[in-house]
Amino acid sequence: MNSSSLIECVRDRFPDAVSASHTYRGDATVVLRGKSLLEVAGFLKEDPAMRMNFLMDLTAVDYSTFGKRPAPAFFASSGVAMSPSPQIPDKDPWPGLPDPSRFAVVYHFYSMTHKHRLRLVVPVEEAAPELDSLTSLWPGADWLEREVWDMFGIAFRGHPDLKRILMYEEFEGHPLRKDYPVNRRQPLIGPVN
Amino acid sequence: MRDDTSFLTSRLEKAIGWARKYSIFQYPFVTACCGMEYMATACSHYDVDRFGAGFPRFSPRQADVLFVVGTISHKLAPVLKRIHDQMAEPKWVVAFGVCTCTGGFYDNYATVMGIDTIMPVDVYIPGCPPRPEMVLDGLMKLQDKIMHQSTTGKRSAPEPRPGINGA
């Protein structure tokens, strides 16, 4: 299935769950409401036309400072300004923020049967940063969800062992949140440096 | 009356220093990309065995030089410190690569800004990663240091690092 028919398929099946969708340079993205995540993910995995049997990636984004500072222009090694740059209009511009929520958890699915892929974006509110765990469907989600918990502090309901994976237990806070002070150090031994 | 003691002691120190500097049993604590350069140094082209340091011991109790090769994170720091504590005196520490010297280009929540914040360091080999020639140069400097050290391995306390221990 190509990217637009993938989106159509999900939209037709779950008209209430999908809040937005877009294709960007050939990649399909569906923005979901968090409460229907498990249902949609189960459909993506089990439906014979979908067969998303590979959870390629699971990560999160903190949008709290997004757009507050102008992005620097990107220069090629030749010194010529390239797109994305504010001076050069993009033919296929990025569609913008999915939702006013602070966080978004991003899932990348791939079907090894049908060779197609789909990205799910699930906005997460700052007040209740919690989503359903996908470990029951893709066991590989286990460590990825632990990483998202460790770095962003987004919890996953139904995860078998939700604890830090990269940082140590004594670490306070979630370092990839934009409000984590960039100079804050928490060494286990030795001076704060 | 002639006193031979001082004559004999100085010869013994020199002999022991000479023997020690050519029989380095190293413990490679390799965590990151510098390990590739460490391996290049250890292999036949650069042949660290010419300096008597070709024998890595993977037990800290049998090693006398700790090669810290690669970035050390705060999570790993207690492990490294324990390895260092387990080594028997006399012992030496080589900071291999700029991450172990100062933290390198990392300045974030996860990285130790130089292993000299948690243990004494004898030789710093900066570089990202250092060339094998630099490693051999550092090793020769370490040999020089070992050669001119007292038999007991005693040495003066390391100077406090400006801005961290001092201020």
Out of A11-25, B26-40, B148-162, least confident range: B148-162
The residues, any chain, with a CB within 8 Å of residue B99's CB and separated by 6 or more, are B32, B34, B70, B71, B72, B106, B111, B128
B118 to chain A: which residues are within 8 Å by CB? 189-190
pLDDT at site A94:
57
Q: Is residue B135 part of a domain?
A: yes
**Number of separate domains in chain B:** 1
Q: Is residue B119 part of a domain?
A: yes
Question: Residue B91 maps to which CATH number?
Answer: 3.40.50.12280
Whether pLDDT at A124 is above 60:
yes
Q: What average pLDDT does range B111-137 have in this prediction? A: 91
Q: Is residue B164 part of a domain?
A: no
A175 contacts B78? CB cut-off 8 A: no
- Interface residue B58 vs chain A (CB under 8 A): no
Q: Is residue B134 part of a domain?
A: yes
- CB neighbour class for B40 (10 Å; exposed up to 12, middle 13-18, buried from 19): middle
Which CATH code is given to the segment(s) A3-67+81-140?
3.30.460.80
B118 contacts A193? CB cut-off 8 A: no
Q: Could you tell me which chain B residue has the CA closest to the CA of A171?
A: B75
pLDDT at site A77:
65
Q: What average pLDDT does range A172-189 have in this prediction? A: 89
Whether pLDDT at B166 is above 60:
no
- CB neighbour class for A122 (10 Å; exposed up to 12, middle 13-18, buried from 19): buried
A175 contacts B77? CB cut-off 8 A: no
Whether pLDDT at B136 is above 90:
yes
Nearest to A109 by CA among A182, A42, A191, A177: A42
Q: What average pLDDT does range A86-111 have in this prediction? A: 73
Instruction: Output the average pLDDT for chain A.
Output: 85
> Residue A175 is nearest to which of B103, B109, B165, comparing CB atoms?
B109
The Cβ of residue A150 has, within 10 Å, a number of other Cβ atoms equal to 19
Whether pLDDT at A55 is above 50:
yes
Q: Is residue B63 part of a domain?
A: yes
Out of A115-119, B87-91, B96-100, least confident range: B87-91
State the Cα–Cα distance between residues B126 and B110, nearest whole angstrom. 20
Strand order across the beta sheet in which A54-62 lies: A18-24, A27-32, A116-124, A103-111, A54-62
Whether pLDDT at B65 is above 70:
yes
Domain positions in chain A are 3-67+81-140
Range(s) of the domain holding residue B133:
21-147
Q: Is residue B28 part of a domain?
A: yes
The residues, any chain, with a CB within 8 Å of residue B162's CB and separated by 6 or more, are none
User: Do the interacting molecules here have an ipTM over 0.90?
Assistant: no
> Residue B118 is nearest to which of A166, A186, A190, comparing CB atoms?
A190
* B7-64 pLDDT tens trace: 555 577 788 888 888 999 999 999 999 999 999 999 999 999 898 888 888 899 999 9
State the Cα–Cα distance between residues B39 and B25, nearest whole angstrom. 16
Nearest to B134 by CA among B126, B143, B122, B142: B126
Q: Is residue B160 part of a domain?
A: no
State the Cα–Cα distance between residues A152 and A111, nearest whole angstrom. 28
Whether pLDDT at A4 is above 90:
no
> Residue A188 is nearest to which of B78, B114, B164, comparing CB atoms?
B78
B157 band by pLDDT with thresholds 50, 70 and 90: low
- Interface residue B83 vs chain A (CB under 8 A): no
Q: Which of B82, B84, B99, B109 to mutate to test the interface with A (most CBs of A within 10 A)?
A: B109
- CB neighbour class for B115 (10 Å; exposed up to 12, middle 13-18, buried from 19): buried
Write the DSSP symbol of residue A14: -
State the Cα–Cα distance between residues B80 and B87, nearest whole angstrom. 11
State the Cα–Cα distance between residues B69 and B47, nearest whole angstrom. 18
A79 band by pLDDT with thresholds 50, 70 and 90: low
DSSP string spanning A164-191?
Answer: -SSS-TT--S-TTSTTS-TT----SSS-
Q: Is residue B11 part of a domain?
A: no
pTM for the full model? 0.79
